[in-house]
Amino acid sequence: MGSVVDGIEIESLQMRASWETICWGCGLRVILPKYAPMFRCGWCGAITIDNADIKPVSPWSRRCSKGRDQVFVFLVLSLTFSIICGGVWSTFPVLFPTATVGFYIHSAITTILSFNTLFNYCMAAFRRAGPPPTVEWGRYDLVPRQALEGYKFCVYCKLPKPPNAHHCRSCQSCVIEMDHHCPFIGNCVGSNNHRHFLLFLLFATASGFYVLTMSTYVGSKVWPNMVRFRRANTPRLHGGASYDVLADLLVTMFLSMEPAASTRAFSLIFLCIASFSLVIGVGLLLYHQVKLVYTGETYIDSLSSSGRGHDQDKSWTNLRKVFGKQHPFLWLLPRISSKCLQASVKSHAG
């Protein structure tokens, strides 16, 4: 027992002046000089945050987020298949009525662009973005020294969270090197699928530009025939009334005696509008993503570091961290990385 002054033990006062808690990483007792809302364990290196804020997510909000992602994934896949099938049906019979060399060349281009777009989309959407590794924690005899350096405890997953991971409340899991949650793939973009996400944007932009070029060229060949048909039939049907050129064209397609021709014309209009929008929208997103990767940042970093990107090392090294150490030409080839093989498949079925 300590000495007594005015009936109060001095050692008791000293103990009360300090603060004792438990490290979540190794289970050891930690005594600090005073209360600290955040501290690092000297043994395992884990960071403890006392009274971490928990933002509750209602089950209704989770269901809405899940349903939104499922709808967007369905729409993206439907749009992709409609552009591929509609493009082949609308352009190939006009440009290649017989099997020529050009037919085989453009068939190969269409196959390569379509396969790579769909392959990388599926890899980005249906693979877990970056699950944290499984580590031992909670017991001193299981945790080596500095084994949890920089780790924090995720209050949502109730599991250790690596220093380069973020928790996504939409996916309800922690994601290593999380860039952002993309509703169009219904998944986060992280260490496992960042490469596939970028390649999907690249091939989608290239495919959109190819479809726009082909549909515009075919339209330039189909348009004169439609105009001649309008001039020959519209005055007789409408009593010589004056109509806008586009309105006349639409009426002509409706009244045409060749349904296949009118449907092809509608398909070409759809392809031009869809592919042009695709090139602009996805192209801008691709530019922004490549810029972030080149500066060594994620989208989350750019939001929380206000101008930090100007001080980052801008080099091909940052690109190689995402795409691999192979020759840049090999980056474009479809392959499944070892990270993806180790990760489980993400389900969109709810």
> Does the pLDDT value for residue 15 go beyond 50?
no
Euclidean distance between CA atoms 317 and 294, whole angstroms: 8
Question: pLDDT tens across 264-297, in order?
Answer: 778 888 999 999 999 999 999 999 999 999 988 8
Three-state DSSP class for residue 226: helix
Place 244 in a pLDDT band, splitting at 50, 70 and 90: low
- The more confidently predicted of residues 35 and 156 is 156
Q: With left for phi above 0 and alpha for psi between -120 and 50, is residue 149 left, alpha or beta?
A: beta
Cβ neighbors of 127 (< 8 A, separation 6 or more) are 187, 192, 193, 196, 340, 343, 345, 346
Report which of residues 37 and 314 the model is more confident about: 37
Catalytic residues: 182
pLDDT, mean of residues 198-205 = 97
Task: Summarize the confidence of residues 318-327 as an average pLDDT.
Answer: 87
Sequence ranges of the domains in the chain: 7-51+133-163, 59-129+192-342
| Selection from 158-162, 262-266, 316-320, 331-335 with the highest mean pLDDT | 158-162
- Percentage of the chain beyond pLDDT 90 is 43
Give the C-alpha separation, 100 to 83, whole Å: 23
* pLDDT reading at 237 higher than 90: no
**Confidence band for 250, pLDDT divided at 50, 70 and 90:** low
What token pair was written down for 129? Answer: 């973005």
**pLDDT (0 to 100) of residue 346:** 61
**pLDDT reported for residue 6:** 42
**In the predicted model, what is the mean pLDDT of residues 60-65?**
84
Whole-number pLDDT of residue 240: 45
Other beta carbons less than 10 A from residue 104's beta carbon: 11
> Average pLDDT for residues 130-138, to the nearest whole number?
91
Return the bridge partners of 98, or none.
Answer: none
Q: Closest Cα partner for 183 from 197, 195, 167?
A: 197
C-beta atoms surrounding 157 within 10 Å? 14
Say whether pLDDT at 47 is over 80. yes
Q: What is the pLDDT of residues 100-119, one digit of tens each?
A: 899 999 999 999 999 999 99
User: How far is the C-alpha of 69 from the C-alpha of 131, rounded, in Å?
Assistant: 19
- Whether the CB-CB separation of 148 and 47 falls below 8 Å is answered with no
Mean pLDDT of 35-63: 82
- Residue 245 scores a pLDDT above 90: no
